[in-house]
Amino acid sequence: MLKIFLLLFITSIALINANLEDAVNGFFEQRCSKGGNPNAYSELLSASIRVKICVENNVPSSVNEAETFKAICTESYDNIYKCVEDLLEKFEPCLEPEEKYLPDFVLGSFNNTLDEQCKDSGKFFLEQRANLKHANCSVASGTITPMILETCAPKLKLIEALKKTDFVLRQDELCSDIETMKNCFLDVFEERCENDTYTQYIETFFSPVLDWCTEQRTNNKLGEN
Ligand SMILES: *[C@@H]1O[C@H](CO)[C@@H](O)[C@H](O)[C@H]1NC(C)=O
Ligand SMILES: *[C@@H]1O[C@H](CO)[C@@H](O)[C@H](O)[C@H]1NC(C)=O
Ligand SMILES: *[C@@H]1O[C@H](CO)[C@@H](O)[C@H](O)[C@H]1NC(C)=O
């Protein structure tokens, strides 16, 4: 669970690590050097290492998944939020003006996701998760993440666009990629599963993030009037 959880919060970083690490490092190196701070890139690198350790340290290691999840929803929530916030601060100098929404996007999505998944002390979410075993999917465990990356990553505008040196991650493009990814996840499982109990489970990851996108579009419209 934690893998998917992180994949979605630090979406781009996770995809990137899997596929395009060198290209992306080069990209950020160049990006971070544009601002005034010559250490911006090395600070970003150390923060990206720190965030993994920080999150791991704040997720209680319990054999019982329900207990772990409950702890994330209660005592770990604020600390994990701070871990991510620390990374985002280090991104700030490496962002173009059109990308300044990104920290709010990540933190807002984080809040929305945990609000959704932690409803009713996480009972609803864990039930959905338990229902997954009725889906009867023909996929070997351990192959799901690579398979999704292989199938879905090429559909994202983000991956193609990253190859351009003047790439800018615009909010509308990011939001549309997340929608694409949700539909791709649903297709991947639909093709391989007999029962659609996975649908709601997938929704609990994507809807909170897409809700942020909708909130922003609404706010922007209100601002224009
Ligand atoms: C997320 O929730 C925390 C705690 O309720 C709040 O302090 C923070 O401002 C929220 N962040 C965003 C981006 O909405
Ligand atoms: C799951 O799929 C297998 C193989 O297709 C089938 O034999 C089995 O009856 C299915 N189980 C359920 C609970 O549908
Ligand atoms: C899917 O699984 C649920 C939960 O076990 C069950 O109630 C439902 O009948 C199943 N639907 C199909 C189409 O197999």
Return the ligand number nearest the Cα of 197: 3
Q: What is the mean pLDDT of the chain?
A: 84
Tokens for 96? 């173009």
Residue 14 has pLDDT above 50, yes or no: no
Return the ligand number nearest the Cα of 77: 1
- Let me know: does 51 contact 84? Beta carbons within 8 Å: yes
Residue 180 has pLDDT above 90, yes or no: yes
Domain total in the chain: 1
Q: How far is the CA of 138 from the centre of ligand 3 (A)?
A: 16
- The residue nearest atom 4 of ligand 3, judged by CA position, is 134
The rounded percent of the chain whose pLDDT value lies above 70 is 88
Q: How far is the CA of 203 from the centre of ligand 1 (A)?
A: 22
Confirm whether pTM is higher than 0.85. no
Q: Which residues, 6+ apart, have CB-to-CB distance to 168 below 8 Å?
A: 96, 98, 99
Q: How far is the CA of 136 from the centre of ligand 2 (A)?
A: 6
pLDDT tens digits, one per residue of 68-118: 888 888 888 999 999 999 999 999 999 999 999 999 999 999 999 999 989
The distance from CA 41 to its chain's CA centroid, rounded to whole angstroms, is 21
Band (pLDDT 50/70/90 cuts) for residue 23 is low
129: region left, alpha or beta (phi > 0 left; psi from -120 to 50 alpha): alpha
What average pLDDT does range 123-136 have in this prediction? 88
Say whether 37 sits in a helix, a strand or coil: coil
Return the ligand number nearest the Cα of 135: 3
Estimate the share of the chain in helix, then strand, then coil, as percent rounded to the nearest 5: 80, 0, 20
111 Cβ inside 6 Å of ligand 1:
yes
- Let me know: does 31 contact 94? Beta carbons within 8 Å: yes
Q: How far is the CA of 184 from the centre of ligand 2 (A)?
A: 24
Residue 178 has pLDDT above 60, yes or no: yes
Residue 131 has pLDDT above 50, yes or no: yes
Q: 148: domain range?
A: 2-224
Return the ligand number nearest the Cα of 78: 1
Task: Between 79 and 9, name the one with better pLDDT.
Answer: 79
134 Cβ inside 6 Å of ligand 3:
yes
Q: How far is the CA of 111 from the centre of ligand 1 (A)?
A: 6
- The residue nearest atom 3 of ligand 3, judged by CA position, is 134
Distance, in Å, from the CA atom of 225 to the CA atom of 221, rounded to the nearest integer, reads 7
pLDDT tens digits, one per residue of 185-223: 999 889 989 999 889 889 988 999 999 999 998 888 777
User: What DSSP designation does 75 have?
Assistant: I
**pLDDT at residue 158 in the model:** 82
Residue 133 has pLDDT above 70, yes or no: yes
What average pLDDT does range 139-166 have in this prediction? 81
79 Cβ inside 6 Å of ligand 1:
no
**pLDDT at residue 105 in the model:** 94
- The residue nearest atom 9 of ligand 3, judged by CA position, is 195
Q: How far is the CA of 197 from the centre of ligand 3 (A)?
A: 7
Ligand 1 atom closest to the Cα of residue 108 is 13
